[in-house]
Amino acid sequence: MKVKVISRSTDEFTRERSHDLQRVFRNFDPSLRTQEKAVEYVRAVNAAKLDKMFAKPFIGAMDGHMDSVSCMAKNPNHLKGIFSGSMDGDIRLWDIANRRTVYQFPGHQGAVRGLTASTDGRILISCGTDCTVRLWNVPVPTLNSYETSNNSSEPLAVYVWKNAFWAIDHQWDGNLFATAGAQLDIWDHNRSQPVSSYEWGTDSVISVRFNPGEPNVLATSASDRSIALYDLRMSSPARKVIMRTKTNSICWNPREPMNFTAANEDCNCYSYDSRKLDEAKCVHRDHVSAVMDIDFSPSGREFVTGSYDRTIRIFPYNGGHSREIYHTKRMQRVFCVRFSCDASYVISGSDDTNLRLWKAKASEQLGVLLPREKRKHEYQEAVKNRYKHLPEVKRIVRHRHLPKPIFKAAALRRTIIDAERRKEERRKAHSAPGSISTVPLRRRRIIKEVE
């Protein structure tokens, strides 16, 4: 005769210490858990609601400038440091953790239009409307503060040129930097005149960005509505595309260095593949006024934009609509935005002389998380992601409160777009078959590509 006996070891279900958690054993057999889907759905709805309740993205404002903040640059050598320049010629180095100015770089006689740091973060390069390029020694960050010497407020070098500058950028790997003005100029740290100059047309170049993957490739936008690609190994520009409206800023995707996104005057952002400029990969729509600046997250999965409509939006790199919008009553037109080097924060500079610090994820908990808290957040995110297609969860996740002027402008913009679409459909319906072809939005704003 066989006798079955239940045998358990006491070690499996008893706690080692009195403050340990009680061990719980669960049977995940679906036949025993018939309400699992319903329970998870309720958890997903609750997680979405909790995200809304804890969404407090604004961390603080950093004031000190006396005029509009026109440009910003990250310090690649220091996570907490960011540089900002204003329209009155003032340049400051900020400590983001303490939200205070740690250093000033006086010298420019006009508006500072561009800032960039060298690859090692030791030299800051600035340019402005006073026709000068200035090289500054960056104070060395220590554990608690910055080490400063008496002579570091004086520029290392001042290069005077023939025209005003509108933008500047440094190679990701190398000693060259590029300035945008009446033409595109390539400079070396140790030379007082440009190493080479490129000119394509007669209009001013207004923004320039080096490619993060290929140090000798860069993209520019000009006031003649063009976006041009240059290769420093060639004596002439490579190719350019002409759009219907002007592009204010460009940023390369750091994880996919062949792709870049352009911030345009027509309220949209356009993502391009540099190998195929006759069509945009994606059109990012939501702003109701000109997009002034753009910056990619270090992860390359999303980017932040600042607009003339006084808002900041965060877009997924392959999504047509923003996942987040930030605004305050006091914030005016946003001229520059940057992601922090760890992709946790967003810094914006606006017309009201302030820099503002925001969380990249509005409901993210600041500070050190316990392992249980981290697992809880991950579980809630996973449940929300699983049920995001259901109407109730989708409605809660998508809902945003907008300022009344932006809400009305967005409604008016939708009305205009719908009217244009209906007009196009009717014109096509009452024309001979095949005489009118529908041009997709990704091509509609492009006039031509020039090689």
pLDDT in tens, 182-241: 999 999 998 889 999 988 877 889 999 999 999 999 999 999 999 999 999 887 788 899
Which token pair is 101?
Answer: 């100015």
Residue 143's pLDDT band (cuts 50, 70, 90): low
How high is the pLDDT of residue 148?
A: 58
Instruction: Please report which confidence band the pLDDT of residue 142 belongs to, taking 50, 70 and 90 as the band edges.
Output: low
In the chain, the amino acid numbered 369 is L
Smallest CA-to-CA distance from 257 within 215, 207, 227, 198 is with: 215
User: Residue 145: pLDDT above 70?
Assistant: no
Q: Is the pLDDT of residue 19 over 90?
A: no
pLDDT of res. 14: 79
Residues 398-422, mean pLDDT to the nearest whole number:
94
Condensed to tens digits (0 to 9), the pLDDT of residues 339-391 reads 999 999 999 999 999 999 999 999 999 889 998 899 999 999 999 999 999 99
pLDDT at 107: 86
Whole-number percent of the chain with pLDDT over 90: 73
Considering the four listed CATH numbers 3.30.420.140, 2.130.10.10, 2.40.30.10, 1.10.10.10, the one that applies to the domain covering 58-365 is 2.130.10.10
Instruction: Report the relative pairing of strands 91-95 and 217-222 from DSSP bridges.
Output: unpaired
**Per-domain residue ranges of the chain:** 35-55+366-426, 58-365
> Percentage of the chain with pLDDT > 70?
97
DSSP states along 10-72: GGGTS-SSTTSPPP------TTT-TTHHHHHHHHHHHHHHHHHHT---EEEEEE--SS-EEEE
For position 151, what pLDDT does the model report?
38
Which residue in 105, 37, 26 sits closest to 71, CA to CA? 105
Pair of tokens at residue 375: 């697992």
Average pLDDT, the chain: 91
Least confident of 13-22, 203-212, 239-248, 432-441: 13-22
User: For 296-339, what is each residue's pLDDT tens digit?
Assistant: 999 999 999 999 999 999 999 999 999 999 999 999 999 999 99
Estimate the crossing angle of helix 391-398 against helix 36-53, to 10 degrees.
10
The span from the CA of 28 to the CA of 291, in Å, is 50
CA 137/CA 153 separation, integer angstroms: 8
How much is the pLDDT for 415?
A: 96
Average pLDDT for 42-54: 95
pLDDT at position 150 over 60: no
Instruction: Compare 17 and 209 and report the one with higher pLDDT.
Output: 209
Write down the pLDDT at residue 236. Answer: 78
Closest CA to 250 of 281, 272, 276, 275: 272
89 contact partners, CB below 8 Å, separation of at least 6: 106, 107, 108, 109, 110, 111, 112, 128, 130
Residue 129 scores a pLDDT above 50: yes
Q: How many whole angstroms from its chain centre is CA 341? A: 11
